[in-house]
Structure 1
């Protein structure tokens, strides 16, 4: 596999493009919004610059990485020579189904179609294509250039050959791939989201405050970041969407989202991306104070 196409130039998409390009692959980064593509290239340039400053990348390697990335606002043109397409669009089922229908028609017959979805069924996504054996999940973790895990999700019809190729490719990116089967939330979010939801319930029921809950998990359980701060970084809307997938997929009330989380999303308090969630990010993400809503 030499030619990679990445659909979506947001946080995950530009991180995936950055990583593939850094490891020598030619990458077509595709988005319908040219302004978003320009912003993505700025972000990649900035993040590569940080690597140069830290001494983990040379200035020459940075320049070479950037030259391997080409942007496209037309999906068909961007994927026509792709060996692998990684979809990293918004976590919305109908949008992903449309993208995969279009990809099936536009990508070469040999191309593997992967989704970076964090919870949506790969089997469902594959059902709208004529190449179910070549559809798979590649769930990268954020920030993609730093985090080592790739959750490789096999749909019901994903072939052994496709799985082996994606596992090998992930290893070539310096990642640790973990193969999992296609059930709601896969492994990472099936375990993580109920923990975050329980942390929100702990506030909702008045057991403890935001800072106290996160401190217990950081110091008591050796988590690098507390669950509420992590939820802010993921996006509270994304957390809510994944909980809905778990709740609908299993029909188990233990996955029902906390009413406080629902209200925060309705109010537009989504975390870092809106400047406020459980913490306030008006002055940046470092040492963010607890949002006034949660102060006693």
Structure 2
């Protein structure tokens, strides 16, 4: 049985349209060390429409752009590939190193801010806001946008943020064959590796939708969220900030989309207020002590509005 979102708006001309939403609430399942001490309230998980910063031209130029991105990343001193987590991949040069936690989230209040669908034209501004608070975040990027904005992704990784796979073109993976699921993830892995030198070890399925087939083809932790800001629906910086600030608890994973300027403008207030409450801003992997759960799944009924 499929788990997660089933409905989604059509992808029209690269623009976000429609008001589709998921039919489940994201609940973090703490399965490994450090996670048991973290408690995050569940919020309704709503479907985010497909990313808007993509074009067919960018997708068609994938091979040549990825090659040039690799040269650029190497010239810029990108980190080389290192062995991955043994429980998820065989040790080789494909997988991002398991990050060493800088913060013990069992002892201090932590929150993981996550940003989907980039990189895009507003991501650099977001990086500046995060740097001002020494905040680390996790970016779940779309392969087509990696090709379109390789420099932005390189700067994101160089700033110490975690990079995750959000597929090549943002489809509902539960509607695809196993081969197409592998293609969506594999092409994105290759594009990310061309820029950063490593393959991400986290995946966020579009719309929070997955099933047993997707789990088997992914082979990595699938990260959803516990706080949905609905920033794709409410294009108001003040409203997005209020939703985040009302819902965050220690251990929360917050969903944003950095392709929206209204979202990026909301971040300084979110950072300022949460820092004032004593929160530390960490990556998803840091939140779980360097060992993210193999599965983060939906289990509750939808939020009612």
TM range (shorter): under 0.3
* Larger relative helix fraction: 1
TM-score when normalising by structure 2:
0.24
From the CA coordinates, give the structure whose radius of gyration is larger.
1
Greater relative CO (CA pairs within 8 A, separation 6+): 2
